[in-house]
Structures are given as C-alpha cells and as structure tokens.
C-alpha cells in the first residue's frame, strides 16, 4: 500500500477504511464480518480508519476489533454533527461527542476530529430539508466564533491530533472555511468522476468539489476523498433498494455511459471508479465504503493496480457526466 501525507499526518495509506460500510449504512453485514474486514484492511496496508457516531455500529466494531489497543501506525478519525446549537454550547457538545466516541472505541485520543455538519452562510435557507437545517448545518458565524476555537482547544489538550471539516456544505462557505484562520488540518471532499455528492447535496448551487480540493491544496490542508463510487451509483448494480427518484438512483442512470465504457474495456465499474478517484490530483487518501472482505479485496486490488491510464481518464471525462 502506498503511503502519503495527509495534512499534519505522515504515513497515511492511500486508502482509508470508512466506517459507513462497517456500520451498515451501505447495506447489511454482520458484526463479525465487519470486525474481520477491519483486520483484513490493516493486513492489507490500510493505516487510517474513518468513524462517526452516525455510522450506527461502527465505533463499537472498532472497539471490539482492537480492544483499545490500536496496531502500530494505525490512526482513527471520528466526527460530530453539531448543527446550530445555542451560542456558548458548541465546545461542550464537541467535547461530549468526542468523549463518547473515544469511550465506544476504547481509545484515549482521535487523530482527526471532524465537524460532520454542513457549513452554510448565516442567512442561507436550504431549498431541501430547510425545516431540519439547524440539525445538519452550522452557520458560518458559529463556525468561526466557536467551532474553530473549540477544535483548536481540543488539539492543545492532546485530545485530538488535528481537526477537520466535512466539505459537503454550501461550496462557497466550504472554500471560505479553508481560507479562514485557524484552518482545519483536513477536509473530506467529494472525489468521483461524476463530481456528485448525491443525496448529501441539499443546496441548488453547483457542487464544485474540484475547486474545494484545489483550495485545500493551496493551504496544504489534507484531502480525504469521499464517495468514490458515489454510494453505489458507479458500480455495476446496487446491493440495496432505492426509490427511482433517489439522488443515487438518478446518478446510477446518469452513469450508464460509464458502465458501457467499462464493459467495452472489460473492467469492473467499481474498480475503475476507485482508480479514477485515486488518480485525481490533490487527493491524499480515498475513503472506502466497504462492508465486507470481498468488497475490500476489490478496493485493495484497485489501489495496487495504480493510477488509471490517462487515456482512460480522458475517455471517462469526455462522456460529459460531471454534475452541475
């Protein structure tokens, strides 16, 4: 497994084991299979595991897999979806969430702690789910005045090694956060050939993930790529039921020319999608949504195969599939 630098962290594997699959966000698996997948990932050279309380059983899986004793060189991230609490409550909520995550995993420190909320302009009203936006989105003034200082404090205390943001909110505000001081050490950014955040997109503006990655690179902020297969839309077939109007189902239909190209070159769409993500400039590590060892093996093989041939990348890009 190739190793790289992720913002302040050295020796990070090019693939990160994501907690969504382990926690059954992306389809069913058993606890025993999730634990076996964790061990197989470490044996395969993965050195970073990305968790969150929202990923159902994920943090409990990590706790059972390692019994509080992480293998040498293995790092852990976790997150908190803060939303928009009353002024003055941010630090306490972040600390409480971090403490609960560390306890669930049986560890004393997170290497990166992410704000799992969208970040939005103060007066912004989401065109979708506006009635719930105070649960999933943090206004800019709260981010600047309370979130960033609270994260910096946790780092000074040694509770976390670094902090980051999930870069799926209103794109202009994510780019603003990357330019702000203090800046996060890491950002999670959409990294797929569609440039699509899928169902995470609640705004009407263009997603702009490549601009977000470039803005992070300009400040040497680490980039963790998410949604390499766009929640299954870039695979041969979904392994879970989705209604026809679901954003991921719409992306699956939009990606039909990509699947046709993969058939023409005799390749698995999921493998090509992962190799495309790993080939994107400025992305340090790509988070996997695998839920079992078979899916993990395919991703490890994709990483071992190396970057995609530029001619294949050009063919994919010429399909004109990117989101707008």
Q: What is the pLDDT of residues 250-276, one digit of tens each?
A: 999 999 999 999 999 999 999 999 999
Q: Span 16-44, mean pLDDT?
A: 88
**Is residue 96's pLDDT more than 80?**
yes
**Is residue 242's pLDDT more than 90?**
no
Q: How far apart are the first and last CA of the chain?
A: 34
**What tokens appear for 275 in the block?**
């190799």
Q: What domains does the chain contain, in order, with CATH numbers?
A: 3-317 (3.20.20.100)
130-174 pLDDT, tens digit per residue, is 999 999 999 999 999 999 999 999 999 999 999 999 999 999 999
Q: Angle at the Cα of 284 (from 304 to 158), degrees rounded to 5? A: 120
Q: Which residue has the tokens 């395969």?
A: 44
Q: Span 192-211, mean pLDDT?
A: 94
**Is residue 313's pLDDT more than 90?**
yes
**Is residue 26's pLDDT more than 70?**
no
Judged by DSSP in three states, 196 sits in coil
**Is residue 16's pLDDT more than 80?**
yes
pLDDT confidence band for 292 (50 / 70 / 90): very high
Q: What percent of the chain has pLDDT over 70?
A: 100
Q: How many CA atoms lie within 13 A of 30 on its CB side?
A: 3
**Is residue 211's pLDDT more than 70?**
yes
Determine contact, residues 117/173, Cβ cutoff 8 Å.
no
Q: What percent of the chain has pLDDT over 90?
A: 88
**Is residue 27's pLDDT more than 80?**
no
Determine contact, residues 162/7, Cβ cutoff 8 Å.
yes
Higher pLDDT, 121 or 231: 121
**What tokens appear for 246 in the block?**
């679901």
Q: Span 288-306, mean pLDDT?
A: 93
pTM score: 0.95
Q: Span 86-114, mean pLDDT?
A: 97
Q: What is the reported pLDDT for 227?
A: 95
Range 175-181 contact pairs with CB under 8 angstroms and sequence separation of 24 or more: 175/208, 175/211, 175/212, 175/215, 176/140, 177/119, 177/140, 177/143, 178/212, 178/215, 178/216, 178/219, 178/221, 179/215, 179/219, 180/144, 180/148
User: Cα dihedral angle (244, 247, 252, 253), rounded to 10 degrees?
Assistant: 60
Q: Span 45-59, mean pLDDT?
A: 94
Determine contact, residues 224/50, Cβ cutoff 8 Å.
yes
Q: What is the reported pLDDT for 95?
A: 98
Q: Span 89-107, mean pLDDT?
A: 97
- Partners of residue 75 on adjacent β-strands: 48
């Amino acid at each position: 497994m190739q190793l790289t630098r992720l913002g302040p962290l050295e020796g990070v594997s090019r693939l990160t084991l994501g907690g969504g699959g382990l926690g059954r966000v992306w389809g069913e698996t058993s606890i025993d299979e999730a634990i076996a997948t964790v061990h197989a990932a470490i044996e395969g050279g993965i050195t970073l595991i990305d968790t969150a309380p929202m990923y159902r059983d994920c943090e409990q899986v990590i706790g059972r897999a390692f019994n509080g004793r992480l293998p040498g060189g293995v790092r852990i991230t976790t997150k908190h979806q803060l939303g928009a609490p009353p002024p003055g409550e941010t630090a306490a909520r972040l600390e409480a969430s971090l403490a609960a995550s560390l306890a669930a995993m049986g560890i004393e420190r997170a290497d990166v702690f992410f704000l799992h909320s969208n970040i939005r302009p103060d007066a912004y009203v989401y065109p979708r789910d506006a009635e719930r936006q105070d649960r999933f989105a943090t206004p800019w003034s709260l981010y600047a005045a309370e979130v960033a200082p609270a994260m910096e404090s946790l780092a000074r205390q040694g509770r976390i090694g670094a902090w980051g943001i999930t870069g799926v909110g209103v794109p202009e505000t994510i780019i603003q956060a990357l330019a702000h001081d203090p800046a996060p050490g890491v950002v999670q950014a959409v990294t797929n050939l569609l440039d699509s955040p899928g169902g995470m997109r609640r705004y009407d503006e263009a997603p702009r993930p490549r601009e977000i990655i470039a803005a992070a690179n300009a400040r040497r902020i680490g980039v963790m790529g998410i949604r390499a297969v766009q929640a299954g839309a870039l695979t041969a077939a979904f392994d879970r039921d989705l209604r026809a109007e679901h954003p991921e189902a719409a992306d699956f239909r939009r990606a039909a020319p990509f699947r046709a190209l993969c058939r023409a070159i005799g390749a698995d769409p999921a493998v090509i999608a992962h190799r495309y993500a790993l080939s994107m400039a400025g992305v340090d590590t790509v988070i996997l949504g695998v839920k079992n060892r078979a899916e993990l093996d395919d991703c490890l093989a994709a990483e071992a195969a190396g970057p995609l041939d530029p001619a294949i990348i050009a063919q994919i890009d010429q399909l004109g599939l990117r989101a707008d």
